[in-house]
Structure 1
Amino acid sequence: MAELLFRIGRLAARRAKTVIAAWVLVLAAAGAAYALWGGTLTTAITIPDIPTAEVTDRLAEEFPEAAGGSGTIVFQAEDGAFSAEQQEAIGKALTEVADVEGVEGVMDPFTTEAERSTQAEAMTSGLSQIEAGLDELDAGQAELDAARQGAEAAGADGEALAELDAQQAALDQGRAELEAQRTQLEQGAALMATAAEIRTVSEDGTAAIASVQFSEESMSLSDETKAGLTGVFEDDPIEGVQVDYSTEIAGGVPEVFGVGEAIGLVVAAVVLIVMLGTLIGAGLPILNALVGVGVGAMAAMSLSGVVEMTSVTPILGIMLGLAVGIDYSLFIINRHRRQLKDGYDLEESIPLANGTSGNAVVFAGATVVIALLALNVTGVPFLGLMGTVGAMCIVVAVLVAVTLTPALLGLVGKRVLGRKDRAAVAGDGPVKKPKAPRQFTVLGAIGIVVASVVGLLILAIPALDLRLNLPDGSTEAHDSTQYQAYEAVSESFGAGVNGPLLVVADLPPSADEAELTAHQIAVAQALFEQDDVVAVAPIGANEDGSVAAFQVVPEDGPTSESTEELVHSLRDLSPIDGVYDIGVAGSASGNIDVSDKLADALPLYLVVVVGLSLIILVLVFRSIYVPVIATLGFILSYFAALGGVVAIYQWGWLAGVFGVESPGPILNFLPTLLVGILFGLAMDYMLFLGSGMREAYAHGAPARLAVVQGLQAGRAVVTAAAIIMIAVFGGFMFSHSAMIRPIGFAMAFGVLVDAFVVRMLLIPALMHLAGDKAWWLPKWLDRILPDVDVEGASLERRHPHVEHGAEPVAADKG
């Protein structure tokens, strides 16, 4: 591989314009593919074969009219209760909403509430009238019994008794009819009692909810449908009424690149300028990264027309593509600059840098790609797709690094060095001598180990309280319409109305409507008796009465612990009374199921990644000790990063600093995603630092001296690379999307603790304490392991540096 990259680097430097033109064409092709085949991204996070999905499919079969999604429009009167004029205006506007393409139906809150009130009054009045009628029948029965006794005592004939029998039959029929009516009204009253807390207009008349039924699923709504719906109220505002929309209506695909991300790039540029001392040198890695991101992201999004792709997927690709694209190019450029300072010619240095550092870049990129592709073993389709897209962007970044970087280096020549460095190379300026490396002491190393491990464990403590879910309206920015709608519903109707549950029950055969209603009452009352259930309302039954659906309103919001417990407790009820099998669905239930599925998949994936880490590091470092401590270090940095996420985004620590307006559960796929990404990046830094230590030891340096020599050789470039990654990931911490912010923080904080605490402090200290034993490897294993030669040492032997007027000598890598 090193020899191949050497040749690629030499060819790219000689044919720089051709290589650049080729990448421009690739970029244009990716853009054309996106324009032609790019589809709509979705904000839905779904997993097949979970309980909610099964119930939802059943619901779609039995109640096709309810198969589409729904959203909520929330109205708030700005000055007291709604006036008659405002109610009328809202009703007219909702009629226009019903005509919007994609809208199946709209419920007018005032009409619905009035009907509910009228129905309740009619039911109360009907029961009173029936009781009065039964009282009259009782009085008539008493009179008829007295008449019969008198007639029998007087020896009345058969004709007289037959007339009394006819009157008795009439009384019995009247009583049966009233009893049937009373049973029907009592059943209705029983169902209304369980649904009493479900309102469409608040008790004080200041807020109202209009439910909108869509023909498509909420997460698949077109922008045209959303714009048409909201446009009704924007084009003709209702005076004195504030209108807000639930996330299903107002939520959109988060922006791919915003102000925060741009600031991250600016910080990366500043770091590169400080490190490289030249604008040209600093611009090359950023240019390479932008080309790689453009190709990778647009190529990935061109697939969104044929596969369901979540909105986070391309953003993750952009995150990774920017960060590793800059870093990988930087590693090659840094090697090239160092060689130029050591007197290498331009034509000699570029291919050698590409064959050595470029070889390490390919190996490091391969570890990230493998870790991301391994997300497919979780059995979670959307997560596997995210890993695949991320891996695609990494592959593009590596290809750009080993082809476009040498081409650009060939074009800029020695201008990749600053003026002082160019003067020093030309012999016109002072040459800086590297400082002698400062070694660890045993006590110092022990202190570093103890402090690092204790510090990381303390950071990891909040991870013990990790709760997973998906963001809802409560986590949106407080000035957003989604948050305003969520809060208005919570204050006026109860938090649970923001995330009602759907329960589907299998019913036994019913002889008539009364028996069907009796079954519905039995289920509704059993559900209503559960803790944290505020209301239960029957939605309806299928044609043959074998399946009934109910809306269950929890006490708390969709991401609360009590709602999560309620979903599980409702499922544990089945079968109710040993008769009614039930299932639970709804957006809140779906999010809980997805979170549970991901939590179950995390341990397996972590084991796979840890095993992968050990294998890769044994191959690279030909040691047992180094892979073990490097992998344990990764585990510490992972849980420390997770602890930081919980402390800030779930507990609310430093919420103002990070813009966390409403702390809540952690994004359910973040812990699993973080394993793959942080592992790949940790291995990058371990390779670039550890290979320098291994090389120094192989060249005869004592084990402890080799540690500090390798650390000194790679510390500057790894520090810059880590800061760049932190800056790029950190830019996403201030995204407008509640889903993106914790991902950006987790990766930025994970890189921070892994690079600066684990790789630069903990690992070197542990290796110092181990001494020569750090590089021990059983002889039988040494014989069967292939020589991967990550740093391309064999390449340097085949292409030794030739100083002018001197015999060929091996290149000095120190």
Structure 2
Amino acid sequence: MASLLHRLGAFSARRPFAVLLAWVFVLAAAVGGMASLSRPLSNEFEIPHSEFGRVLDELGQEIPQVAGGTGTVVVHSPDGFTADQRRALRDTMTEWEDLPHVTAVLDPFKLQRQLDGSGDQLDRGLRKLTKGQEQYDEGRAQLIGLENWLADHPDDATPALEQQLADGKAQLADAGEQLDSGWATYHAGKTLSDAGDGVSFVSDDGTTALVQVRFDSQTQQLDPAVLERVPETGAALADAGIRADYGQEMTASREVGGPGEVIGVAVAGVVLLVMLGSLVLAGLPLAIALVGVGVSLTLGIATTQWISLQSMAPVLGMMLGLAVGIDYALFIVNRHRHQLAALADESDEPLDEERIRASIALATGTAGSAVVVAGTTVVIALAALAVSGIPTLLQMGMLAAFTVAVTVIVALTLTPALLSLAGRRAIPRRRRTTRSGRARDGWPQRWVGLVTRRPRAATALVTLVMLVLAVPALSMRLGLPDGSSEPQDSTAYRAYERVADDFGPGANGPLLLAAEYDAPVAEADVVAAEAKVARAVLAVDDRVSVLPIGTSDDRRTIAFQVVPAEGPSAESTVELVQGLRRLAAGDEPVHQTSSWLGLQDVIADADPTGDELLGDGVSLGLTGATVANIEVSERLAAALPLYLTMVIGLSLVLLTIVFRSILVPLVATAGFLLSVAASFGAIVAVYQWGWLGALFDVHDPSAVFSFMPTLLIGILFGLAMDYQMFLVSGMHESYVHGKDARTAVRAGFASGARVVAAAALIMVSVFSGFIWAEMTMARSIGFGLAVGVLLDAFLVRMTFTPAVLSLLGDKAWWLPGWLDRLLPNLDVEGAALAQRLERERTESEAPAEEPARELTPVS
């Protein structure tokens, strides 16, 4: 591999303009493809064979009006809505109804009147039933009196009196049946009224109202331009003095870049400038990263012509592409500069172009080999996300892997070309020396000396720090971000907060419940059936209300809205969903902890099992955005152990091949697990517990983004192996060349620590730029990667690893002979390449031999 990369570097160095123009052409073609082929990105998190998807599809066929997406518009008037304001709102709702994909706009004031009117109807019905009951009781008493009189006076009984008694009994029986039916209907209606008591569309003080805009598809599946028409049309409400805020489902940010990312790249540029001491060289890795990201992302977005791409995928690709692009180019540039420094020290004569190009080719062959292995590691780790079985996660992983692969190719071809154009400007200044002429020891020598002198203490201290940081991870909860995670100055956050304040936090994430019957429900029994389901749902904890919202034409499906006690990401909402699942399965008791709805008698008489509360012939299904988010999180959590096992296995196999050792891969993997655990702990402390929330703009702590753990494991594994490669390969090279184990650790560390430290700081800078991104989902990932890289590079790779390898001594590099013969030799350090080049140089400098005399055959 090193020889092949050496030839590639030599070609690029000899023809820099051709290589540069080729990449300019590729970038232009990719941009053109994106401009002509791209389609809007999606916010949908798809899960094949999901329960919520099945229920949603069935509802879409049976009750289409409740199965489509719903957007919430929160309208507010500080002094209450005047007649003119209500008229302006009605006009705007009419305009919303005319928008594409909008199926209905629900008037909140009309809905509130219907809710209030249902209570009045119940009161009137109760009065009518009470009067009817009194008349029934009075008639029954009269018949009983007549029957008793006839029994006491049999001689006075006449056929007319007996017929009157028989007719009265028949009429009383009919009246009793009607009265029983009336009372049953009343109690069912009262149950539904009480069950929906927490539902309202206009706040108690009359200043806030909820407008529901219904679409023909889920909002995540719609073109963002369609959703944006709603707030654009609603801008006219401000002229009437109405404040309108729009829910997250219509306004979630899909921006790929922002000022935070620019600042992160700028900080990375400063680190490069300090390390390389030249604007030209500092700009080179940045150019490599930008070209790699530009080509890969534009090509990836162009594929949206054929496939749906989740909006988070380009953000992840850009985040990772910028970081590894800068780092990979830096590794090659740094190797080239070290070689030029050595050549300059050998001779005071200026270096000619041929020697500079030879150095570029050698740097590409040696450092480029490590870049290929490191990049391949990242690509494989990201491609392995396919084991999750979740298409959205696979999209993220594949686009990020494609970005890394393209960036590796750009680094291996464009970096040599630009270094060739830089020429002598890549030669570093002469190193500072002591009076004796020896190079001064820098911080790498001092640090590794301290670590290897106290290896046990260093190992114990790092392990303790990482385990303490990992403690919060024990309480990690997974979920998808809701409106409370949006920036505080955003309309989505204002809408979320106003709904929570005026209508309860659960109104931000209602559940959709479908009751499916084996046979059609009689029209006269629909209310009773609705009441029976409502009673069953009320037997589950953590709910506020349940309200029927639609019945299919064949009356075999009834849809309900269940409002949780807390917000969509709250732990109690997850428990509510689990309780409703148990209710549907009928395999566990459902415990009733409160009877504030006045249904004590009804529920107390029912056996507390789902089957008996619901009865036979009916099954329940759950769906809706909140249920989908919970199911996505559960599926991701279930796939995490398998993915982590695959990554660990990959780590052991790859590092065994590269370092020809058994213990070095185990040490590297143990360090990786420490880094992952500590990163998870830091994320939970900040985003779930709210520690340092003001610093990281976490105003409403909630569940951790459910995709974050899986993505963090894959990406951090690849990056950790990068640093392992560049640090430990130097140690291995020194050991192979005859140095004792401890000296080899020190020498290898000193040769690679500066570039690894700079690379880590660059990655931390780039990832930190996403902590304050517009897209909420990118924040915790950026934070987790920044913390993970910082801990892994400086505590694990630069402290824990040299300390443990120093303790192990020669044992660290032991490999059974049979395994050594079995494993392929990747020549990552370029030893075979160096031998070949040395042999070619020796042969070229040797005096030419006299050509052999041609022998003439003797006839």
Q: Specify if TM > 0.5.
A: yes
Mapped to 1, the partners of 2:451 and 2:31 lie a distance apart of 56
What pairs with 1:169-188 in structure 2 (closer than 5 Å)? 173=174, 176-188=177-189
Mapped to 2, the partners of 1:683 and 1:220 lie a distance apart of 38
Q: Which AA in structure 2 matches 1:83?
A: T
Q: Which AA in structure 2 matches 1:100?
A: L
Q: Return closer, same or farther for 1:231/1:109 CA change in 2, 3 Å cut-off.
A: same
Matched, 1:373 2:383: yes
Matched, 1:237 2:243: no
The Cα shift of 1:595 comes to 0.8
Mapped to 2, the partners of 1:687 and 1:615 lie a distance apart of 14
Mapped to 2, the partners of 1:174 and 1:772 lie a distance apart of 99
What pairs with 1:198-597 in structure 2 (closer than 5 Å)? 198-237=199-238, 239-253=240-254, 255-343=255-343, 345-417=355-427, 420=429, 433=439, 435=441, 437=445, 439-440=449-450, 444-509=454-519, 512-574=522-584, 575=586, 576-578=610-612, 579=616, 580-597=618-635
Q: 1:266-312, CA deviations, whole angstroms, 9 ceiling, x for partnerless residues?
A: 11111111111111111111011101000011111112232222111
Q: Return closer, same or farther for 1:441/1:301 CA change in 2, 3 Å cut-off.
A: closer
Matched, 1:118 2:117: yes
Mapped to 2, the partners of 1:805 and 1:625 lie a distance apart of 40
Is contact 2:66–2:550 with CA below 8 Å preserved after alignment? no
SS in 1 for 2:240: coil
Is contact 2:386–2:394 with CA below 8 Å preserved after alignment? yes
Mapped to 2, the partners of 1:266 and 1:315 lie a distance apart of 18
> Which deviates more from structure 2 when the two are superposed, residues 33-42 or residues 148-157?
148-157
Could you tell me which of 815, 828, 832 is aligned with 1:790? 828
SS in 1 for 2:702: coil
Fraction of identical pairs, as percent: 45
Is contact 1:40–1:305 with CA below 8 Å preserved after alignment? no
Q: Which AA in structure 2 matches 1:373?
A: A
The Cα shift of 1:709 comes to 0.4
Is contact 1:624–1:777 with CA below 8 Å preserved after alignment? yes
Q: Return closer, same or farther for 1:280/1:516 CA change in 2, 3 Å cut-off.
A: same
Is contact 2:385–2:393 with CA below 8 Å preserved after alignment? yes
Aligned position for 2:94: 95
Q: Which AA in structure 2 matches 1:766?
A: V
Aligned position for 1:74: 74
Aligned position for 1:24: 24
Aligned position for 1:812: none
Q: Return closer, same or farther for 1:281/1:117 CA change in 2, 3 Å cut-off.
A: same
Mapped to 1, the partners of 2:48 and 2:727 lie a distance apart of 43
Mapped to 1, the partners of 2:247 and 2:426 lie a distance apart of 53
Matched, 1:745 2:795: no
Mapped to 2, the partners of 1:373 and 1:146 lie a distance apart of 88
Is contact 1:78–1:240 with CA below 8 Å preserved after alignment? no
Q: Which AA in structure 2 matches 1:221?
A: L
The Cα shift of 1:221 comes to 2.5
Is contact 1:505–1:582 with CA below 8 Å preserved after alignment? yes
Matched, 1:190 2:216: no
Is contact 1:201–1:209 with CA below 8 Å preserved after alignment? yes
| TM-score normalised over the length of structure 1 | 0.93
Q: Return closer, same or farther for 1:389/1:146 CA change in 2, 3 Å cut-off.
A: same
Q: Return closer, same or farther for 1:133/1:795 CA change in 2, 3 Å cut-off.
A: same
Is contact 2:185–2:528 with CA below 8 Å preserved after alignment? no
Could you tell me which of 622, 633, 650 is aligned with 2:688? 650
Matched, 1:612 2:612: no
| TM-score normalised over the length of structure 2 | 0.89
SS in 2 for 1:577: helix
Mapped to 2, the partners of 1:704 and 1:150 lie a distance apart of 118
Mapped to 2, the partners of 1:238 and 1:215 lie a distance apart of 30
Matched, 1:715 2:753: yes
Mapped to 1, the partners of 2:521 and 2:373 lie a distance apart of 72
> Which deviates more from structure 2 when the two are superposed, residues 717-726 or residues 96-105?
96-105
> Which deviates more from structure 2 when the two are superposed, residues 533-542 or residues 356-365?
533-542
Aligned position for 2:720: 682
Q: Which AA in structure 2 matches 1:755?
A: A
Aligned position for 1:659: 697
SS in 1 for 2:256: coil
SS in 1 for 2:495: helix
Mapped to 1, the partners of 2:687 and 2:413 lie a distance apart of 41
Mapped to 2, the partners of 1:308 and 1:464 lie a distance apart of 35
Q: Which AA in structure 2 matches 1:577?
A: D
The Cα shift of 1:540 comes to 2.8
Q: Return closer, same or farther for 1:803/1:148 CA change in 2, 3 Å cut-off.
A: closer
The Cα shift of 1:144 comes to 6.7
Mapped to 2, the partners of 1:581 and 1:175 lie a distance apart of 33
SS in 2 for 1:558: coil
Q: Return closer, same or farther for 1:573/1:167 CA change in 2, 3 Å cut-off.
A: closer
> Which deviates more from structure 2 when the two are superposed, residues 273-282 or residues 26-35?
26-35
Aligned position for 2:131: 132
The Cα shift of 1:442 comes to 6.1
Mapped to 2, the partners of 1:227 and 1:309 lie a distance apart of 19
Q: 1:336-381, CA deviations, whole angstroms, 9 ceiling, x for partnerless residues?
A: 1111122272121111111111111111111111111111122222
Mapped to 2, the partners of 1:92 and 1:701 lie a distance apart of 84
The Cα shift of 1:525 comes to 0.4
> Which deviates more from structure 2 when the two are superposed, residues 748-757 or residues 729-738?
729-738
What pairs with 1:139-154 in structure 2 (closer than 5 Å)? 139-140=138-139
SS in 1 for 2:776: coil
Q: Which AA in structure 2 matches 1:496?
A: G
Q: Which AA in structure 1 matches 2:548?
A: P
Q: 1:565-618, CA deviations, whole angstroms, 9 ceiling, x for partnerless residues?
A: 111111111232343422222211111111111111111111111111011111
Q: 1:216-250, CA deviations, whole angstroms, 9 ceiling, x for partnerless residues?
A: 11112323332322123213425343211111122
> Which deviates more from structure 2 when the two are superposed, residues 720-729 or residues 169-178?
169-178
SS in 2 for 1:685: helix
SS in 2 for 1:362: helix
Aligned position for 1:636: 674
Q: Return closer, same or farther for 1:617/1:804 CA change in 2, 3 Å cut-off.
A: closer
Q: 1:41-92, CA deviations, whole angstroms, 9 ceiling, x for partnerless residues?
A: 122223122322222222223222323111111122213x333433333233
The Cα shift of 1:140 comes to 4.9
Mapped to 1, the partners of 2:237 and 2:488 lie a distance apart of 25
Q: Which AA in structure 2 matches 1:122?
A: Q
Q: Which AA in structure 2 matches 1:215?
A: D
Q: 1:426-463, CA deviations, whole angstroms, 9 ceiling, x for partnerless residues?
A: xxxx9983649554576511111111111111111111
SS in 1 for 2:46: coil
Is contact 2:40–2:224 with CA below 8 Å preserved after alignment? no
Mapped to 2, the partners of 1:586 and 1:607 lie a distance apart of 33
The Cα shift of 1:320 comes to 1.0
SS in 2 for 1:45: coil
The Cα shift of 1:794 comes to 1.1
> Which deviates more from structure 2 when the two are superposed, residues 507-516 or residues 539-548?
507-516
Aligned residues: 799
Mapped to 1, the partners of 2:566 and 2:115 lie a distance apart of 24
Q: Return closer, same or farther for 1:165/1:446 CA change in 2, 3 Å cut-off.
A: closer
Is contact 1:278–1:417 with CA below 8 Å preserved after alignment? no
For the aligned residues, what is the CA RMSD? 2.6
